[in-house]
Structure 1
Amino acid sequence: MLKRCKFIVHYVSKFNVFEQVRYASQILPQFSAEKYNVKRKNFSNVQAADVSYFQSILGNDRVLTDRDEVLPFNIDWIRNCRGQSQVVLKPKTTQEVSEILAYCNKKRLAVCPQGGNTGLVGGSVPVYDEIVINLMLMDKIITLDEISGALVCEAGCVLENLDNYVRGHNLIMPLDLGAKGSCQIGGNVSTNAGGLRLLRYGNLHGSVLGLEAVKADGTVIDCLRSLKKDNTGYHLKHLFIGSEGTLGIVTKVAIHCPVLPKAATLGFFGIKNFENILELYKSAKSSLGEILSAFEMADNLAITQTVKNLNLPNPISDYPFYALVETHGSNEVHDGEKLSNFLNKEMESGLIMDGTVTSDPAKMQTIWNLRESIAASSLVGGYVFKYDVSIPQKHYYDIVPMLKQRLGDKASAVFGYGHIGDGNIHINISVPQYTKEVVSLIEPFIFEEVSKLKGSISAEHGIGFRKPQFIHYSKEPSALGLMRDLKQLMDPNGILNPYKVLPETN
């Protein structure tokens, strides 16, 4: 029986959930270089004279060398990767980034650009002793054009802070992520983050109007335009969007912010099977049209584990699958009529077995928090393998039961959830502990299956450190060759985020 939300709101901010789980274990992960048998490249080692130079630019307080202070910058959020950096730099300006890179390029000192460090493929932490350049202090909002919706800001701005700021001007950020309380816009752009509302607002390749970036040699590339139409030669900004800091460090971003919807509604529904999820999605596209802003799914285990591990409320009963449907519109009466017709139709058809619908912001946040906390909940106890792939929607869930059968009792949990609207499924595999035997059962099997379906081995998390050896499942040799040519042209000494994105050549 469909009902309005009546459960008590137990709001837990996404930032607190992420941070709570991030530091839940005090056991340090194994060094990435040892765990994955990576050979150090021929870079220079940091010397006392190098540290003194950085201090002359930044001052002593923005050059971290104390082991305990540096440690958190060496470990990724899911505690899968651990680097060996001994120096963390915190620039405040593009000029400082430029001076740092020019020096490091001349000295052949490798660097690791870092934002909020919420990535899931090891791209934001060092592998060996790369110098971490963390942009957290570059957090100024520069301008906001309320007519065009163009926001210009520095790369270290936290996504949630930006969203709160533009909401005060009747706008919203075009992306929304579970980690928005700590991730930074520069990292979002550098990884081409997707998020929860890509179905409505598109990906960052379309939303980013312009950017500023610094090349390996310190050259500042100023493409910081805020025009929607600028057809003057090569679109250089796209070289940096999704390049994960391997071609340059993004320092400023101009991004288009859509108008804040006047009417927003969220439904959370229990569904009998995955086939019905697809039928419901087709119906939602047809019935809701332009007001459909998000269509998410999660299987039973994804939700029940999150409820249990993080003590979050589930507003409806136990079902094999769940669908989360959100609408954004400008007319509450018009949108409400559309949504009501959709719900009545699919309750009668049996596609929706049970559910709850609300327009109350606090209750909407509680439902979204349940969905957005799935990633964090899987980190409670044991070790988790996380995969982010795009698959044609008719095969979207096929790989989850395949992995359950393949792993058997070696896995304590295998579940899937994600963005039905863009074909992006997140697959989590929980095991008691990391073993190479389990890895051999998962990789490259999962990527082979994705490749057979003409899918992508990385939908929105990037390639980072964990997937370069598998990128050929999604990129042809000619494309990889062009990527290597671009890397050689823009970073001939290879100092920018080494060991990431591109596979090693013999």
Structure 2
Amino acid sequence: MLRKLLTNGHIRCARRFSSSKAIPELTKDRYNVKRGEYSLLTDGHMAFFMNLLGQNRVINDPSECESYNIDWIKNVRGQSRCILKPRTTEEVSKILEFCNENKLAVCPQGGNTGLVGGSVPVFDEIVISTALMNQIESIDEISGVIVCQAGCILENIDQQIGEKGLMVPLDLGAKGSCHIGGNVSTNAGGLRLLRYGNLHGSVLGVEAVKANGEILDCLSTLKKDNTGYHLKHLFIGSEGSLGVVTKVAIQCPTKPKAINMAFLGVESFDSVLTTFRRCKNELGEILSSFELIDALSLDVVTGHYKMQSPIPQFPFYILIETHGSCNEHDEEKLNRFLESAMGDGVVLDGTATNQPSKMKQLWELRESITQGLLMDGYVFKYDLSIPIKEFYAIVDVMNEKIGKDAVRICGYGHIGDSNIHLNLSFKEYSKEMHNKIEPFVYEYTSSLKGSVSAEHGIGFRKSKYVHYSKSPAAINLMQDIKRMMDPNKILNPYKVLPESS
């Protein structure tokens, strides 16, 4: 029987910086990286930054610098002794011009919520934090286009434009702390890409500062603009390696008047695929999310956080969300779909709701997995695009390869766009386990014609594995573009691309 309401019980979302107190090894030591030929920071350099920004926006106290040097999952750690906090594009321009002339490496940083080490220094790069660049400059209620600075927090944007009847076409578990500039720079995907597409389609324009300090104004607010090359796409997904994004123009859809959700239990991955195919056929235009959670992923939040699942235990769970304009119509379609799927025995149990508080509880079950896994110990996290029929096979393969040594091997993610989040947790980091997992996990992904990075970017941790997804010619062209736009290689070095030969 379909459950119409969640079972009683309080579900809490525990989003913290990290569950572990341990400070990770320095990146240079764990990964044996050689420092590039960059200048060392001097008192003269610091005097320039102090004069430009003032003492309050230049951080050089080691204890205050620490949080900017460590990623939130505590996997990588740099040694920056200078954190700069500009407020304007012009200040970013002057910083980069100076750094380029003096060959000082820089690391752009937003909310520091990345999972691949792209937003923290590897050595002593100067961190340019966008935290104070947090203004929404315009909201066009007719076209739905907003223009904002790169440091705006995703959730804050969504709340402000929500008052105008709009929504950001991007929703992430880290929305309370991630910056829109970082989202654009990594081409973040999120929970509703199935409905609203990726940022290459939603971002109409960007303003970015090149390595030499030149401001590039591609801040178009037009849906159609076929004037020459689409230069904005150089910065969407390039992770600050070609320029620092300072402003973005985003096409925002109308906020849905009707939202419905269902949380279902099924026996096998084949049943997940059958349910997805049925969802697309029967829910069509209102389907906004289709998320997979396996049993061990749900166990993370029911075990570590004592959250309560609304249905009994199953090997796989499915979270479905619909967005529409007529609740009576959407609820009827969803109920008809659920009755049919359960009547055929494909879906074994489930709950459906359109109450905001209960929908929030369902999303917290899904969104708390990433953080909860850190409580297992050390976690190797992989964000992969794999053809949908083989979506879950990699979990079984890794279980067979190293299952006896792991605390947990689990998979969850976005079935709607073939993006699985594979997680392998251990009591502590081990170089031996690292070598067993990598590069095998990328070789296997490549053998299925998948992508080594679906939505989290390449960052530092995947730069040497790009060749598993891109041809030598494509990598050479990307390196040519990098050399042209950043000849001194000061922008986010050691990231995104392998070192050119």
TM over 0.5: yes
Using the TM superposition, give the Cα deviation of residue 410 of structure 1 relative to its aligned residue in structure 2, in angstroms: 1.2
1:383 to 368, 378, 381: 378
**Alpha-carbon offset, residue 7 of structure 1:** 2.9
Given that 1:412 and 1:432 are in contact with CA atoms closer than 8 Å, whether structure 2 keeps it comes out as: yes
Aligned CA distance change for structure 1 residues 338 and 23 (closer, same or farther; 3 Å): closer
Q: Find the counterpart in structure 1 of residue 44 from structure 2.
A: 49
Counterpart mapping for 1:99-110 below 5 A: 99-110=94-105
The one of 192, 208, 213 equivalent to 2:208 is 213
Alignment of 1:300-315 (within 5 A): 300-315=295-310
1:337 corresponds to: 332
- Residue 466 of structure 1 corresponds to 461
**1:4: Cα distance to partner?**
1.2
- Residue 18 of structure 1 and its aligned partner are, at CA, apart by 2.8
What's the secondary structure of 2:396's corresponding residue? helix
Residue type matched to 1:10 in 2? H
Partner of 2:147: 152
1:195 corresponds to:
190
Offset from partner CA, 1:157-197 (integer Å, 9 cap, x none): 00000111111111111000000000000000000000000
Q: Residues 116-143 of structure 1: CA distance to partner in whole angstroms, max 9, x if unpaired?
A: 0000000000000000000000000100
1:451 is aligned to: 446
> Unpaired runs of 5+ in structure 2?
none
Q: Cα offset for 1:381? A: 3.5
State the Cα distance separating 1:439 from its structure 2 match.
0.9
Are the aligned partners of 1:9 and 1:363 in contact in 2 as well (CA < 8 Å)? Answer: no
Match of 1:225? 220
The answer as to 2:126 corresponding to 1:131 is: yes
Distance 1:74 1:62 in 2: 17
What residue identity is the alignment partner of 1:3? R
CA spacing shift, 1:175–1:252, aligned 2, 3 Å = same
Identity across matched positions, percent = 56
Q: Contact 1:9/1:366 (CA < 8 Å) preserved in 2?
A: no
- The yes-or-no answer on 1:18 pairing with 2:3 is no
Partner of 1:484: 479
| Residue 256 of structure 1, aligned match among 251, 254, 268 | 251
Structure 1 residues 461-494: Cα deviation after superposition (integer angstroms, max 9, x where no partner) = 0100000111000000000011001100110000
Stretches of 4+ aligned residues off by more than 6 angstroms:
none
- How many Å separate the matches in 2 of 1:210 and 1:12? 38
Contact 1:112 1:124 in 2 (8 A): yes
- 1:162 equivalent in structure 2: 157
Question: Where does residue 398 of structure 1 map in the other structure?
Answer: 393
Q: List per-residue Cα deviations over 1:437-465 (Å, max 9, x = no partner).
A: 10111111111111011100000001000
8 Å contact kept, 1:9–1:362: no
Contact 1:488 1:494 in 2 (8 A): yes
Q: Secondary structure at the match of 2:482?
A: helix
Q: What is aligned with 1:272? A: 267
Cα 1:349–1:326 shift into 2, 3 Å: same
Q: 1:70-113: per-residue Cα shift (whole Å, max 9, x none)?
A: 00000001100000100000000000000000000000000000
Paired with 2:464 and 2:289, the residues of 1 have a C-alpha distance of 33
CA distance in 1, matches of 2:15, 2:209: 30
The CA distance in 2 between the partners of 1:485 and 1:457, in whole Å, is 22
Contact 1:192 1:241 in 2 (8 A): yes
CA–CA distance in 1 between the matches of 2:441 and 2:20?
28
Secondary structure in 2 matching 1:26: coil
Q: Check whether the contact 1:247–1:490 (CA below 8 A) recurs between aligned residues.
A: yes
Preserved contact between residue 262 and residue 331 of structure 1 (Cα < 8 Å): yes
Kept in 2, the 8 Å contact 1:155–1:186? The answer is yes
Cα deviations by residue, 1:394-417 (Å, 9 ceiling, x for unpaired): 000001011011003211100000
Residue 9 of structure 1: CA displacement? 6.0
How far apart in 2 are the matches of 1:144 and 1:7?
40
Distance (Å, rounded) in 1 between the aligned partners of 2:159 and 2:172 = 14
Separation (CA, whole Å) in 2 of partners of 1:430 and 1:374: 12
- Provide, for residues 271-313 of structure 1, a one-character-per-residue CA deviation record: whole Å limited to 9, x for no partner: 1110000000000000000000000001000001221112222
Q: Deviations over 1:11-46 (max 9, x none)?
A: 545xxx332xx2433221000000000000000000
- Compare 64-73 and 404-413 and name the one that shifted more: 404-413
1:64 aligns with 2:74: no
- Is this contact kept in 2: 1:264–1:328, CA < 8 A? yes
Measure, in 2, the Cα distance between the counterparts of 1:155 and 1:457: 26
Aligned residues of 1:246 and 1:500 also touching (Cα < 8 A): yes
Indicate yes or no: 2:220 matched with 1:234.
Answer: no
8 A Cα contact 2:20 2:374, kept in partner: no
TM-score scaled to structure 1, two decimals? 0.98
Q: Which moved more, 1:324-333 or 1:284-293?
A: 324-333
1:320 pairs, out of 307, 315, 320, with: 315
Answer yes or no: is the 8 Å Cα contact 1:11–1:365 preserved in 2.
Answer: no
Separation in structure 2 between the aligned mates of residue 445 and residue 26 of structure 1, nearest angstrom: 30
Amino acid aligned to 2:231: L
State the one-letter code of the partner of 1:349. D
Name the counterpart of 2:279. 284
Structure-1 residue corresponding to 2:470:
475
SS in 1 for 2:226: coil
Matched, 1:366 2:361: yes
- SS at 2:132 equivalent: coil
Cα offset, 1:10, TM superposition: 3.2
Distance between the aligned counterparts of 1:352 and 1:86, measured in 2? 55
Answer whether contact 2:445 2:451 (CA < 8 A) is retained.
Answer: yes
Is the CA contact 1:189–1:241 (under 8 Å) kept in the aligned structure 2?
yes
* Paired AA for residue 4 in structure 1: K
Q: Partner of 1:18: helix, strand, or coil?
A: coil
Partner of 2:349: 354
